[in-house]
Structure 1
Amino acid sequence: MASITSTATLLALAHDARAFFRVLCGQLVLDRADPIINPGAVSSHLHTTRPVRVTDGRSFDFEMTYDDARASSCSTCQPKADASNYWTPNLWYRAKNGTFHAFTVYYLQRPNVTAGVRAFPAGFRMIAGDPTKRSFSGSIEQRQITHMCIGQNDDDRESYPLPDHECQNGLRTQVFFPSCWTGKDVDTPDHKSHVAYPSLGYDGDCAETHPVRLISIFYEIMWDTVYDDQHPDKNDFPKEWWVPEGATQPFVLSNGDPTGYGFHGDFINGWDVDKLQAAADHCLAPSGVIQDCPLLELRTDYEKTECLQVPRVADETVGWVDRLPGCNPITSGPADAKMIPPSACGATTEIISKDSQQIKFPFISPVEGWTILGCAPDDINARVMSSERYANGAMTPKVCAAYCQEHGFEYAGVEYGSECFCDHAFDQSLLTARKCDVHCDGDSTVNCGGNARLAVYQRGAAPLAPAQASDTSLSPTSTEPTHGPLMVSTRGQDFKQLSVLRPGWEKVGCYIDTVKSRMLPIGPFTDDDMTPELCISRCEEDSYLYAGTEWAKECWCADDLPDDAQKANDMECDTPCAGDTALTCGGSLRVMIYLDADLNSDNDDEECVDALDGDGDGISHNGPTNQEQCEDVEGDCSIGMQPPSMRSLRNYLRVEQGNSSLGISV
């Protein structure tokens, strides 16, 4: 199931205040790995991990030490001082898995009244919960793991089992970890005895046997159980709620648990101990906003999203599967379940070598006769390869390599699904990126770099063996098209943005698009003859104010732009149009937007437009207070009250009624 967000929180009590901060972490990998319970071997069930990737080919591994974590080259979590590893089982729809997004860890500073709170020592690790549980005993440990539907009605409260009804706004799971420590062992054979819960579970006093109060950890996982009616093909489960025989709801954890009692969490400390201690002592804001703790330097979104890893156990984790990965028959209890070793049911126990091409370069598709060097961030103003650039509308790595070799270059690079670059030299110190995962225009089963990410190859090496085929492979190989005719080629310069517009229309610019929240929601209208002119005429026909081209052949329309529209560089909208390769039609999740300036001027006088254009981009963004803003500048706003067309009527109604949106905040 899609885990939308997950939070780890640290809490501290100082001067009668409850201080804490949230650490937002993205998913690193979904794999049968558990270096605490199954060190050096394949785990019995699947986990979602939100940790670090470390240097020298080492990553979140089947065996991990504190030094391994501290040697990390990247992490999916915000604080640069945090190289910890956090993992939990993942949620499946009965017989179908989902996808994961983010994970949040709360760090709470809750000491005893007369004592301070300690940071986790080097080498510290622990687990919370028990994967074998299938019924509720009322123990203090079980009471610290709960589930609840989000924002549904007053009857929805935290419950120990998974909810027995549909959660309209998503499902949340919460895990509190023990926060009292013996002060001696950083781990014990059962990974629990060295820690204990305080008297109230999440708070209270520590027993004499475990007198040292540690900073508290609280995991919060949001599962995306909401069916998306607008994009039915994007859902991980059917729309209809159903209950399998012997169960109360259709979801099951990856350890075969349909009850929720067997949920658990694992933690390996990777913090810089001194910095975490300083944060516990001095970051006392009750807001939970990590930016309110200036002692902690944060990673950028780029740094977090570039920290990626592929599974090293070849399980089926995509689409419909016959059984849960590993040996995890669904057991409802009430007796405890037995953990079955993978070998008992024929599940794979092989760990793919981290030196293999598919692990070292998981997203870069191989080309025979060329060596994969890696993935490099690129900049349209300072290209890392600048000698020659080429596009033919059907790009693949093989096509690019053939073109560069034909023109005498040693290095080849593909980018953004459609672009090829060649050069005689390349600085390998630039290979610092990871996310070269955009599918190729010429073959969607292989990848051609990424968004401002160049997948780099060097000519003259021994042929590369194809990546091992499995359902977990993120860079599958296939037969690629042969080198085609040259359509666009530039030497030492970038593509030009070419467009021919209808009279009265003007270019707004290139914007970032997303699948679930389209910049222009009307569409798409696809056409193999797509050009900006064709798209504009299609939108103009229905009196839409905005038109946009995307991904060579898509056309989208709208009456206005969202308030949170994110502008991209125009050069990111450089995919050749399907109908005329001399013109450009947006890009992958990049839409080139055009405005009907004549229609816009019919609906708003100049002063009203000035009032509404708060961000200075020349576009009026409509909202519930447009009329008031017009009147504030003493403009003639009567046109806004008397819409002359159906498009304007739609806009007028939107102004009067306002816009509403639903979101989940954690």
Structure 2
Amino acid sequence: MIAGDPTKRSFSGSIEQKQITHMCIGKNDDDRESYPLPDHECQNGLRTQVFFPSCWTGKDVDTPDHKSHVAYPSLGYDGDCPETHPVRLISIFYEIMWDTVYDDLHPDKNDFPKEWWVPEGATQPFVLSNGDPTGYGFHGDFINGWDVDKLQAAADHCLAPSGVIQDCPLLELRTDYEKTECLQVPRVADETVGWVDRLPGCNPITSGPADAPMIPPSACGATTEIISKDSQQVKFPFISPVEGWTILGCAPDDINARVMSSERYANGAMTPKVCAAYCQEHGFGYAGVEYGSECFCDHAFDQSLLTARKCDVHCDGDSTVNCGGNARLAVYQRGVAPLAPAQASDTSTSQASPNPASTEPTHGPLMVSTRGQDVTQLSVLRPGWEKVGCYIDTVKSRLLSIGPYTDGDMTPQLCISHCEEESYLYAGTEWAKECWCADDLPDDAQKANDMECDTPCAGNARLTCGGSLRAMIYWDADLDSDNDDEDCVDALDGDGDGTSHDGPTNQEQCEDVEKNRSISMQPPSMRSLRNYLRAEQGNSSLGISV
């Protein structure tokens, strides 16, 4: 059945028209029900209300006009049924909330009022998709999708005065998650998002007061094709395709239990193509995008987790495509056809490297925070420095032993600069404004998920500086590679004074160097000299810094 008439552009006062109302939510005197769309801003929201007919002939479950078999009672929403429609039905009432909320205390956070403008000859800015700028043509359709027997049982036995559906034990209620993910996917290819040249179908804007004509789609060349429910477009309505990758679906995600945990990447200009390329470059077979700005990679993925649908947030790098959703991960698998389902990785440990024989740290881009609206990716920390990852720290046994150096303007770059000036090999940020340095990362250092180092930096909230007993570690790869002979020098420098000595040594470590020069004549490296000066500072009053 249908409530309302989409052709109406003026108010006649009929009982049928009175069942369609609009209302600004608020305390002002003007915030009362009206038949046209309100002519003033609804700063607390706009609600449209639709009462359906609740009297029935008792014969036909439908009629060609979808109206004649039902009628309104004498008061519209209540009262007596007419003799022609003597059977009383349960009342159906729709409420549609339009987000026009405006926060006076935070005007900079309100997008809607910026769009409030009144076109010439109009009283408000809205136009319904049927071409109605008045609100009189709003209407509602009802098509029964219930199991008829269960609905009848509920109507017969669920008579609690509260009217609360939870008081009807015969009904199995859906969870909030299930309700959110229950979507009717558009199956008509037409422009419905952003600025459009015309309204969907053949619906020219008509202000009345005469009724608007009903124009068939063929009159203006609008599409009449219904997209197959088995098509990729309907199965994955919001997930943008990537060449060379297969769309697996949309999965709910949790910041405390990531469904993809091996690698996270953000560059401020994310798209599915950018994410897929990054994951492929780093040897991963699965890629996922989320929150419009985040990319996740993994070596395996549990496809039983693909229970969501709302991967509908536009990408930072291209607003015409989507990058997952809010706590929703759009998942891709490398290749043109899905492989056999794989088990998800253990989110409590990091994934093995694609090259198990490698003992080098797994490096990646600088960790960025997505707590702020603008996400900044810094591809270069400082020349030669790379990210090692997030590690667990303890108060009793610090991961990096030198520090902390604290600064209210702390960022990863500032910390790295500080440690580099002191010629340390490792730098780590923690607790938003702490910086720690060291020459070595302990062999028993425990790797954490990079998502645990998500505390915004004191100096730039768009970047992250470790977390609570979590240190984001960076490594001076150039200094380490430039001093390949340092282990040899340190091995011969048994007493830490920066000078090589005769006697028992780890000569095997120095064979390659000794072929070209005499170890006994090797000048001390910067790190060995620094160790010597530290030792002297600890044993005497010598005060020298390098």
**TM-score interval, normalised by the smaller of the two chains:** 0.5 to 0.7
Deviation string 1:233-258 (CA, Å, 9 cap, x unpaired) is: 87666559765444444433222223
Instruction: Tell me the SS of whatever aligns to 1:490.
Output: coil
| Structure-1 separation of matches of 2:152 and 2:323 | 44
Is the CA contact 1:576–1:585 (under 8 Å) kept in the aligned structure 2? yes
Is the CA contact 1:147–1:174 (under 8 Å) kept in the aligned structure 2? yes
Question: What displacement does 1:190 show?
Answer: 0.4
Deviation string 1:326-359 (CA, Å, 9 cap, x unpaired) is: 3333333332221122332344444444444343
Match of 2:44 among 169, 190, 198: 169
Question: What displacement does 1:268 show?
Answer: 0.8
Task: Evaluate the alpha carbon distance shift between residue 341 and residue 227 of structure 1 in structure 2; reply closer, same or farther with a 3 A threshold.
Answer: farther
Question: What displacement does 1:299 show?
Answer: 2.0
Is the CA contact 1:152–1:167 (under 8 Å) kept in the aligned structure 2? no
Is the CA contact 1:317–1:472 (under 8 Å) kept in the aligned structure 2? no
Question: What displacement does 1:366 show?
Answer: 2.4
Identify the structure with bigger relative contact order (alpha carbons < 8 Å, sequence gap 6+): 1
- Which moved further from structure 2: 469-478 or 262-271? 469-478
Is the CA contact 1:612–1:629 (under 8 Å) kept in the aligned structure 2? no
Instruction: Tell me the SS of whatever aligns to 1:227.
Output: coil
- Which moved further from structure 2: 384-393 or 650-659? 650-659
Question: What displacement does 1:659 show?
Answer: 61
Is the CA contact 1:561–1:621 (under 8 Å) kept in the aligned structure 2? no
Question: What displacement does 1:309 show?
Answer: 5.2
Instruction: Tell me the SS of whatever aligns to 1:305.
Output: helix
| Structure-1 separation of matches of 2:407 and 2:113 | 30
| Structure-2 separation of matches of 1:664 and 1:140 | 94
Is the CA contact 1:544–1:558 (under 8 Å) kept in the aligned structure 2? yes
Is the CA contact 1:398–1:480 (under 8 Å) kept in the aligned structure 2? no
Deviation string 1:127-179 (CA, Å, 9 cap, x unpaired) is: 01111122333322122222333334446543333334444544332211111
Residue 590 in structure 1 maps to residue 479 in structure 2: no
Is the CA contact 2:486–2:525 (under 8 Å) kept in the aligned structure 1? no
Is the CA contact 1:562–1:621 (under 8 Å) kept in the aligned structure 2? no
Task: Evaluate the alpha carbon distance shift between residue 426 and residue 639 of structure 1 in structure 2; reply closer, same or farther with a 3 A threshold.
Answer: closer
Is the CA contact 1:398–1:483 (under 8 Å) kept in the aligned structure 2? no
Question: What displacement does 1:611 show?
Answer: 60
| Structure-1 separation of matches of 2:328 and 2:544 | 31
| Structure-2 separation of matches of 1:179 and 1:625 | 98
Q: Name 1:563's counterpart in structure 2.
A: 443
Task: Evaluate the alpha carbon distance shift between residue 307 and residue 630 of structure 1 in structure 2; reply closer, same or farther with a 3 A threshold.
Answer: farther
Is the CA contact 1:625–1:655 (under 8 Å) kept in the aligned structure 2? no
Task: Evaluate the alpha carbon distance shift between residue 665 and residue 214 of structure 1 in structure 2; reply closer, same or farther with a 3 A threshold.
Answer: farther
Task: Evaluate the alpha carbon distance shift between residue 400 and residue 644 of structure 1 in structure 2; reply closer, same or farther with a 3 A threshold.
Answer: closer
Deviation string 1:8-61 (CA, Å, 9 cap, x unpaired) is: xxxxxxxxxxxxxxxxxxxxxxxxxxxxxxxxxxxxxxxxxxxxxxxxxxxxxx
- Which moved further from structure 2: 546-555 or 351-360? 546-555
Is the CA contact 1:641–1:652 (under 8 Å) kept in the aligned structure 2? no
Task: Evaluate the alpha carbon distance shift between residue 302 and residue 425 of structure 1 in structure 2; reply closer, same or farther with a 3 A threshold.
Answer: same
Question: What displacement does 1:419 show?
Answer: 5.8
Instruction: Tell me the SS of whatever aligns to 1:333.
Output: coil
| Structure-2 separation of matches of 1:651 and 1:286 | 82
Task: Evaluate the alpha carbon distance shift between residue 236 and residue 507 of structure 1 in structure 2; reply closer, same or farther with a 3 A threshold.
Answer: same
Deviation string 1:256-303 (CA, Å, 9 cap, x unpaired) is: 223322221101111233333343344444444433444433222222
Task: Evaluate the alpha carbon distance shift between residue 435 and residue 290 of structure 1 in structure 2; reply closer, same or farther with a 3 A threshold.
Answer: same
Question: What displacement does 1:459 show?
Answer: 2.5
Instruction: Tell me the SS of whatever aligns to 2:534.
Output: helix
- Which moved further from structure 2: 349-358 or 656-665? 656-665
- Which moved further from structure 2: 207-216 or 592-601? 592-601
Is the CA contact 2:54–2:71 (under 8 Å) kept in the aligned structure 1? yes
| Structure-1 separation of matches of 2:532 and 2:379 | 31
Is the CA contact 1:404–1:411 (under 8 Å) kept in the aligned structure 2? yes
Match of 1:658 among 519, 538, 541: 538
Match of 1:378 among 249, 253, 273: 253
Specify every segment of 5 or more residues in structure 2 that has no aligned partner in the other structure, as ranges: 350-354
- Which moved further from structure 2: 614-623 or 467-476? 614-623
- Which moved further from structure 2: 534-543 or 285-294? 534-543
Deviation string 1:451-496 (CA, Å, 9 cap, x unpaired) is: 5543332233279999999999999999999998698999999999
Is the CA contact 2:428–2:471 (under 8 Å) kept in the aligned structure 1? yes
Q: Name 1:648's counterpart in structure 2.
A: 528
Is the CA contact 1:148–1:173 (under 8 Å) kept in the aligned structure 2? yes
| Structure-2 separation of matches of 1:262 and 1:588 | 57
- Give the structure with the larger strand fraction: 1
Identity %: 94
Instruction: Tell me the SS of whatever aligns to 2:414.
Output: helix
| Structure-2 separation of matches of 1:611 and 1:651 | 13
Larger Rg: 2
Task: Evaluate the alpha carbon distance shift between residue 143 and residue 514 of structure 1 in structure 2; reply closer, same or farther with a 3 A threshold.
Answer: farther
Is the CA contact 1:608–1:629 (under 8 Å) kept in the aligned structure 2? yes
Residue 445 in structure 1 maps to residue 445 in structure 2: no
Task: Evaluate the alpha carbon distance shift between residue 403 and residue 181 of structure 1 in structure 2; reply closer, same or farther with a 3 A threshold.
Answer: same
Is the CA contact 1:362–1:473 (under 8 Å) kept in the aligned structure 2? no
Task: Evaluate the alpha carbon distance shift between residue 168 and residue 355 of structure 1 in structure 2; reply closer, same or farther with a 3 A threshold.
Answer: same
Deviation string 1:354-408 (CA, Å, 9 cap, x unpaired) is: 4443432233332221211112334567665567777788765445544554565
How many residue pairs align between the two structures?
A: 541
Task: Evaluate the alpha carbon distance shift between residue 518 and residue 310 of structure 1 in structure 2; reply closer, same or farther with a 3 A threshold.
Answer: farther
Q: TM-score, normalised by structure 1?
A: 0.49
Q: Name 2:352's counterpart in structure 1.
A: none
Task: Evaluate the alpha carbon distance shift between residue 324 and residue 150 of structure 1 in structure 2; reply closer, same or farther with a 3 A threshold.
Answer: same
Task: Evaluate the alpha carbon distance shift between residue 477 and residue 528 of structure 1 in structure 2; reply closer, same or farther with a 3 A threshold.
Answer: farther
Q: Name 1:541's counterpart in structure 2.
A: 421
Question: What displacement does 1:445 show?
Answer: 5.8
Residue 151 in structure 1 maps to residue 26 in structure 2: yes
Instruction: Tell me the SS of whatever aligns to 2:239.
Output: coil
| Structure-1 separation of matches of 2:20 and 2:517 | 56
| Structure-1 separation of matches of 2:24 and 2:496 | 41
Task: Evaluate the alpha carbon distance shift between residue 558 and residue 661 of structure 1 in structure 2; reply closer, same or farther with a 3 A threshold.
Answer: farther
Match of 1:529 among 378, 388, 409: 409
Is the CA contact 2:242–2:272 (under 8 Å) kept in the aligned structure 1? yes
Residues 312-461 of structure 1: pairs in structure 2 closer than 5 A: 312-378=187-253, 384=259, 396-402=271-277, 404-405=279-280, 409-415=284-290, 425-438=300-313, 446-461=321-336
Instruction: Tell me the SS of whatever aligns to 2:200.
Output: coil
Specify every segment of 5 or more residues in structure 1 that has no aligned partner in the other structure, as ranges: 1-125
- Which moved further from structure 2: 185-194 or 248-257? 248-257
Question: What displacement does 1:202 show?
Answer: 1.2
Task: Evaluate the alpha carbon distance shift between residue 267 and residue 415 of structure 1 in structure 2; reply closer, same or farther with a 3 A threshold.
Answer: same
Is the CA contact 1:603–1:648 (under 8 Å) kept in the aligned structure 2? no
| Structure-1 separation of matches of 2:493 and 2:170 | 38
| Structure-2 separation of matches of 1:292 and 1:619 | 85
| Structure-2 separation of matches of 1:163 and 1:627 | 89
Is the CA contact 1:385–1:423 (under 8 Å) kept in the aligned structure 2? yes
Question: What displacement does 1:599 show?
Answer: 41
- Which moved further from structure 2: 284-293 or 481-490? 481-490
Match of 1:280 among 155, 159, 173: 155
Question: What displacement does 1:191 show?
Answer: 0.3
| Structure-2 separation of matches of 1:523 and 1:337 | 75
Is the CA contact 2:362–2:389 (under 8 Å) kept in the aligned structure 1? no
Question: What displacement does 1:437 show?
Answer: 4.0
Question: What displacement does 1:204 show?
Answer: 1.8
Task: Evaluate the alpha carbon distance shift between residue 266 and residue 240 of structure 1 in structure 2; reply closer, same or farther with a 3 A threshold.
Answer: closer
Question: What displacement does 1:441 show?
Answer: 6.7
| Structure-2 separation of matches of 1:196 and 1:329 | 30
Deviation string 1:542-590 (CA, Å, 9 cap, x unpaired) is: 9999999999999999999999999999957748969899973699999
Is the CA contact 2:498–2:532 (under 8 Å) kept in the aligned structure 1? no
| Structure-1 separation of matches of 2:65 and 2:318 | 50
Task: Evaluate the alpha carbon distance shift between residue 190 and residue 458 of structure 1 in structure 2; reply closer, same or farther with a 3 A threshold.
Answer: same
| Structure-1 separation of matches of 2:371 and 2:342 | 33
Question: What displacement does 1:189 show?
Answer: 0.4
